[in-house]
Amino acid sequence: MIFLIMIAEIFLLFQMVEALGFLWTLLFCVASAGLGWLVIASTGRNALYAAEASITKRQTPENAVFNTLLVFFGGLLLIVPGPITSLFGLLLVFPLTRPLFRGLVKQWLASRAASGRVFFYNSSTRQGFSDDSNSPFAAPNEASPPIRDVIEVQHKVLPSSDDPGDR
């Protein structure tokens, strides 16, 4: 599948060179890559704000996490030269089309989680990705086998100080 997309990208790039000229095609590729870098650079900061807003409302940051992943992947697609990847990158970055892709990714992950191939787990709350017990992302019941290969991170929140020497 990826090989076919690469062939289509190369074919469309040659078609763009014939229709628009080399310089306009090059400008398209450079502008698309630049936009991709800007999107990726702003994704981390925006993700923190969205997750913090969700947590402040006492909600799981599920949509914030999915949006961050989709925007980041969209930025990566924008960096790859070619009209097909740029189109899909823009669709992932654009806020009005992102919920469609978010739903598709959730369905894909739900089917993988139902088959036991993917599981999201928060070790601090001992819950899965969702608090809903009917959700495929819910925490396993007591009869479930232990999860292997889990990386658990412990953290400590330090009080902020205005004096940089206190840190």
The residue ranges of every structural domain in the chain are 2-141
Query: Which residue reads 């894909």 in tokens?
Result: 108
Write down the pLDDT at residue 31.
95
Residue range 131-151: mean pLDDT, rounded: 50
Question: What is the CA 128 to chain-centroid distance, rounded?
Answer: 19
Question: In this structure, are residues 68 and 43 in contact, taking their beta carbons and an 8 Å threshold?
Answer: yes
Write down the pLDDT at residue 132.
46
pLDDT in tens, 33-57: 999 999 988 887 777 787 778 778 8
pLDDT in tens, 49-100: 877 787 788 777 777 788 888 999 999 999 999 999 999 999 999 889 988 9
Q: Which residues contact 127 (CB under 8 A, 6 or more apart)?
A: 121, 138, 139
Q: In the beta sheet, which residues pair with residue 62? A: none
pTM: 0.64
